[in-house]
Structure 1
Amino acid sequence: MTKPVNTAATNSLRRPGVALWVVIASATLTVMAGAILGPVINQIQSGLRVPQSQAGLIITTHGLFIVLTSPFAGSIIDRVGPRRPYIAGLFVYAVAGAAGLVVESFPLLLASRAVLGIGVAFVYTGVTVLIYNLFEGDRKDRAMGLRGSANSLGAAIWPLVGGALGSLSWHAPFGVYAIALPLGLLALVTVPETALGGRGGDVEDGGLAGLLAVFAATPLLLLVYGLYFVANLLLYAYTVYYPGLLATFGVESSLTISLYLAALGLAGGGSAYFYDRVKRRFDYRQLTLAALALWTAGFTVAAVADSRLVAAVPVVLFGLGQGLAFPTVLLWVEELAPADRKGQYSSYIAMFGYVGQFLSPVVLSPVAGAFEVHAVFATAAAFTGISAVAVGAARLYPVDERA
């Protein structure tokens, strides 16, 4: 005789409040995908006997496939809802990420990183749309702030975890990816189905013409994507060039450098945690101005920093700005994008973010090469300062206060 399903127990688990913590935990995995391997990349290079340039692909390959896969993930989510693609993404993430525990071939490791990027694309956009659909008003602001906080804290903690496990072997950090498997099983029983934003299976995005029509009707949407692109480009300015700046006044220990970068994540986690309270008093335009002002101040201090103590100030200021910018972009896109294409347009957030990370050294290395590392931060300060003036001068939000 078949045992009856305890529907009441299942429904009690599938409440938005219960699902939120599973979704937030999943969100940190998108940060962990690359961050946890940074401290062991040299060990992987030695273990697989590949040049430094090829070893770097282990960090960047998944990002390329996130960019390529995200629109596809968004389209599927618009047609079937976010729950199933999100859970499938977690399982793909677990298998592809943990493959590094046993893989001994560089081509196979790169292939697993490519598949990992596909999983991340589905998790990233699935988490975004789940928060859109499960919450409203202040609760949505709170949920998105918690997501931003978790991402920032993950950026601070995961590299430390990777470094600690790397003391065992270069394979060991890959075992952490397997945490996506129990999260996927938890999601199966805790994350509810959500209503589709519009026509469900009949969603038609109109291709490139439809996309251009949306941008023409709502040009602010493209500027919001631009904000996220800039936020990620500037974040990697710290990741790539801050160790060089610290070295100019004698800070060369990898542990000490990691503590400076961890301070950035902790500051971002703090401001994002209180995002819903800040959002009650300020609109998206004002929050964008605040983020740009914090970034400008941070880069300005970095450009003239000449001591260990002063060097701690820029990372904190930049982190505080990141904590405001991340949830602002995610929530702003939802308000501006077509209601039946939340998956499609939220997937572009991931695209712009990872392209910004990829292009950061390409854009800033000519400055570092022609001048010196302080000039990188002076250039960034000038850019964010001009951007802040432009945002302050322009009417960047509709009169009906959608933004």
Structure 2
Amino acid sequence: MPVLGSVLITPILPQLSEAFAAVPAADVLVPMIVAVPALIIALFAPFAGQIVDRLGRKSLLIAAMFLYAGAGTAPVWLDDLHAILASRVLVGLCEAAIMTVCTTLIIDYFHEPRRRNRYLGLQTVVTTLAATVFIALGGALGVSGWHTPFWVYVVSIVIAVPMIFSLWEPTGEGELEAAASGAVKVRTPWRQLGLPLVVTLFGGFTFYVLIIEVSYLVVGTGVADDDTKTIGAVAAVASLATAGGALAFARVSNRPKPALLAVGFGLQALGMGAIFLVPGLPGVIIGAIVASAGSGLLLPSLVTWALSTVRFEERGRSTGLWQSAFFGGQFLTPLIMGALTAAVGGLEPAVGLVGGLAAVIAVLFGRRMTRTQVAE
């Protein structure tokens, strides 16, 4: 559901920009339709994590799924940009609960590290494959006008119903651990989470650069802004590449995390560099595929690096903090990209600059991996 919130409307962003062109600061506010839910996740996911630790997982998840349908479809009937942004705040609250609970449940359900890492990788595969469908669907429905794609948010009800019958609260070992620690105040493992959270903030930014900007990059090559089929097709291909990267993680999850992070950021750097250096639509397509493959490998690598070893009683709040960092990066993406675009004189060079920053992070993780091997 959170990936639906961020990708469904990317093919119609140029239409929204045209529809609300007369609104003051529309060039910032329209991309915020995608980014505002991420801000709310960043602000409230830690609180959702504390609720998860104290009150349980399933009931919060089911309630959020049903509320998500109402909030997500609200723009179908709205023609005011500020009202649409308000509805997206509620979408973000639901997403904070959904994403935090789902990731926490995966860690709860699967205790063996290799199996847990496999399912964390599959989480990214499923969400990116869903994103591929939603991007293509958003582009196809956008032909009928920008209101139409928002109907897709009703799908959360379809998913929520089997959740009621198939999900369960964690039992056995997890509950025994929680009970045993009940008399002790649980502290957030800041020493363990500090560096992963900082890197995740940057990773969330690089992850969403192309998700948010790909439609504008495609239009910048000469494609009409109402050609949502072409825009959606390019975004869908990039999303498939993200799924491919996540599938690769399932095969290499036993490798050291610094190595996986170095490869993930490195592929992002190569792809964004191609967008800057290769002219026209081919450069956008090639660059988006390569960078998105890196993003697919990067996301589960960040999750497992940060969360796979936290204790049961810390999982909800730790997962909430991780979600806060990742989606905080997403929220900052349009703001940072807007500033970079103005500073360097165009979107393509701004994307190239972000690729350069990703390359620096890749090199740092590569050196960390080398130092670790030498020490061993």
Q: Which moved more, 1:235-244 or 1:334-343?
A: 235-244
Asked if 1:32 corresponds to 2:4, the answer is yes
**C-alpha distance in 2 between matches for 1:203 and 1:40:** 52
In structure 2, the partner of 1:22 is none
Shift of 1:103: 4.7
Code of the residue aligned with 1:66 in structure 2: it is: I
Q: Distance in 2 between matches of 1:360 and 1:106?
A: 20
Q: Deviations over 1:224-248 (max 9, x none)?
A: 2233222221233324555565566
1:360 maps onto 2:339 in alignment: no
| Aligned residue type for 2:33 | I
Q: In 1, Cα distance between the equivalents of 2:185 and 2:133?
A: 39
The Cα of 1:78 is off from its aligned counterpart by 0.8
2:160 counterpart of 1:188: no
Q: Select 2:294's aligned residue among 297, 311, 321.
A: 321
SS of 1:394's partner is helix
Q: How far apart are 1:223 and its partner, in Å? A: 2.3
**Match for 2:322 among 349, 355, 364?**
349
Which amino acid counterpart does residue 375 of structure 1 have in structure 2? P
Q: Match for 2:302: what amino acid?
A: V
CA distance in 2, matches of 1:40, 1:304: 26
**Of the candidates 251, 259, 273, which is equivalent to residue 233 of structure 2?**
259
Which amino acid in the other structure matches residue 134 of structure 1? Y
Q: Which residue identity is paired with 2:230?
A: T
**Counterpart AA for 1:126:** V
CA distance in 2 between partners of 1:304 and 1:203 (Å):
59
Residues 205 and 108 (structure 1), Cα distance of their counterparts in 2 relative to 1, 3 Å cut? farther
1:117-163: CA deviations, max 9, x gaps?
11111100011011111123333222212210122223333132123
Pair 1:271 & 2:254 matched: no
Counterpart-to-counterpart distance in 2, 1:164 and 1:203 = 55
> What are the Cα deviations for residues 321-365 of structure 1, in whole angstroms up to 9, with x where unaligned?
111111112222223434411111111222112221222233343
d(CA) in 2 for partners of 1:162, 1:34: 11
Instruction: Call closer, same or farther: CA 1:175–1:144 in 2, change over 3 Å.
Output: same
Paired residue for 1:382? 356
Query: 1:172 aligned to 148, 172, 189, which one?
Result: 148
> Quick one: distance in 2 between partners of 1:90 and 1:396?
44
Which whole-Å CA distance do the structure 1 matches of 2:167 and 2:371 have between them? 34
Task: Give 2:139's match in structure 1, choosing from 147, 163, 166.
Answer: 163
What secondary structure sits across from 2:141 in the alignment? helix
| Native 8 Å contact 2:70 2:154 kept in 1 | yes
- TM-align CA RMSD: 3.2
SS of equivalent to 2:364: helix
Matches within 5 A, 1:200-219: 202=182, 210-211=187-188, 214-215=189-190, 217-218=191-192
Higher relative contact order (Cα pairs below 8 Å, separated by 6+ residues)? 2
The structure whose Rg is larger is 1
Instruction: Give 5+ residue unaligned stretches, structure 2.
Output: none
Name the CA distance, whole Å, in 2 between partners of 1:384 and 1:241. 17
Flag the 1:269–1:95 CA change in 2: closer, same or farther, 3 A. Answer: same
Deviations 1:180-238 (A, max 9, x none): 113212111011221356436948776xxx54xx32x33xx222223322222123332
Does 2:96 match 1:96?
no
Q: How far off its partner does 1:269 sit?
A: 0.5
Secondary structure of 1:199's counterpart equals: helix
Could you report, residue by residue, the CA deviation over 1:162-184 in whole angstroms, capped at 9, with x for unpaired residues? 23233345443222212111321
The TM-score with structure 1 as length reference comes to 0.78
Name the % identity.
24
Paired residues, what number? Answer: 362
Equivalent of 2:58 in 72, 83, 90: 83
TM-score (norm 2): 0.83
Match of 2:282 in 1: 309
Task: After TM superposition, give the deviation of residue 395 of structure 1 in Å.
Answer: 6.0
Aligned to 2:41: 66
Contact 2:118-2:253 at 8 Å conserved across structures: no
Closer, same or farther in 2 for the Cα pair 1:192/1:291, shift >3 Å? same
Q: What does residue 153 of structure 1 align with?
A: 129
Gaps of 5+ in 1: 1-28
Residues 108/237 of structure 1: CA separation in 2 closer, same or farther (3 Å cut): closer
1 CA distance for matches of 2:127 and 2:81? Answer: 29
Instruction: For 1:383 and 1:358, locate their aligned partners in 2 and report how far apart those are by CA, in whole Å.
Output: 18
Residue in 2 aligned with 1:8? none
CA distance in 1, matches of 2:205, 2:219: 22
SS of equivalent residue, structure 1 residue 295: helix
Tell me the CA shift for residue 383 of structure 1: 1.5
Contact 2:62 2:163 in 1 (8 A): yes
Corresponding position of 1:235: 207
Match of 1:286 in 2: 259
| Equivalent AA in structure 2 for residue 188 of structure 1 | I
Deviates more, 1:78-87 or 1:153-162: 153-162
**Structure 2 CA distance, aligned partners of 1:385 and 1:163?**
32
